[in-house]
Amino acid sequence: MPENQSRPPQPWENGWVPDTSRAPGTRRLYLAGALAVATIIACVTAIAWTDRGPETLSQPSPSGTATEPGLLSFGTPAPPEVTPPKGKSALTTDEATTSAPHQQGSASPSPASHPTTKSPSSHPSSADPKPTTTWRSVRSVNYPDRYWHVSGGYVKLDPVGGSESREDSTFTLVKGLADSSCYSFATADGQYLRHRGFILVANRNDGSPMFRQDATFCPRPSSAPGAIMLESVNYPGRFLRHQNFQLRLDPYQYNDLYRQDSAFRLVAGLA
């Protein structure tokens, strides 16, 4: 091969001397740094506009009732609730006020606001139910012509007599004074039949527990059709029966005479 083959000129042959005062690649580092700074500035600017964007977009329109169309609002607070004033106004009516339930402590409406409302005690309706009184007479089973009859404060078994006798043989049948499932018998003058010394008498109610028990008798089934036996509340096992036509309270006896003497039918009042 020829020795004078062409080759590229070397720097030192052209008079150019390499700059040894800076490290290789410094220009590239400057460019990369400038690009990084520009990128950071762009990001900060974008974040700042992003933070301001919802506030700007959510600002209400001049009417204060709606935002700009097509934009979502995230930070706009709800408008405060307006409480209507009390009394007559365009927001409240008489109908709404009177139809609402009354709260405790509120004043009751005046009669003028309810012209059609009537006081319950002013004029009672003719259709109101009236209390009824159950009048009963007590007839013996084995002496069907004789009834309980108050005579001289005692209750006896007597035949039907005049109007006075019929009135004294008619009683008001009420719920038992000591037991509402049982019976009590009241006379026309407000006395009650009660046993005293095991004898049936008519006395005024003194309000004592003993009186209420003495005047309460519970119906029990009888062997006679349509008849009952009357057992004492405070002396269980003792039943009202007539003996020598006197009503008294005797223990139960297992014989036909006792069962007949203690069987009675409640019939319509004689008076």
Angle ∠(19,25,26) on CA atoms, nearest 5: 80
User: What is d(CA 39, CA 60) in angstroms, rounded to the nearest whole number?
Assistant: 35
pLDDT value of position 163: 84
Partners of 127 in beta bridges:
none
Q: Which has the minimum average pLDDT: 4-13, 59-68, 112-121, 204-213? A: 112-121
- Give the N- to C-terminal CA distance of the chain in Å, as an integer: 168
Residue-wise pLDDT for 174-212, tens only, equals 999 999 999 999 999 999 999 999 999 999 999 999 999
Q: Which has the minimum average pLDDT: 17-26, 31-40, 59-68, 197-206? A: 59-68
Q: Is 173 helix (H, G, I), strand (E, B) or coil?
A: strand
Residue-wise DSSP of 20-46: -SS-TTHHHHHHHHHHHHHHHHHHHHH
Mean pLDDT for 216-221 is 97
pTM higher than 0.85 for the full model? no
User: What is d(CA 224, CA 48) in angstroms, rounded to the nearest whole number?
Assistant: 108
E strands within 187-237?
192-196, 199-203, 217-221, 228-232
Residues 214-221: contacts with CB within 8 Å, 24+ apart?
A: 215/176, 215/177, 215/178, 215/184, 215/185, 216/176, 216/177, 216/178, 216/179, 216/182, 216/183, 216/184, 217/176, 217/182, 217/183, 217/184, 217/185, 218/176, 218/179, 218/181, 218/182, 218/183, 219/182, 219/183
Mean pLDDT for 107-123 is 40
Count CB atoms within 10 A of the CB of residue 172.
Answer: 16
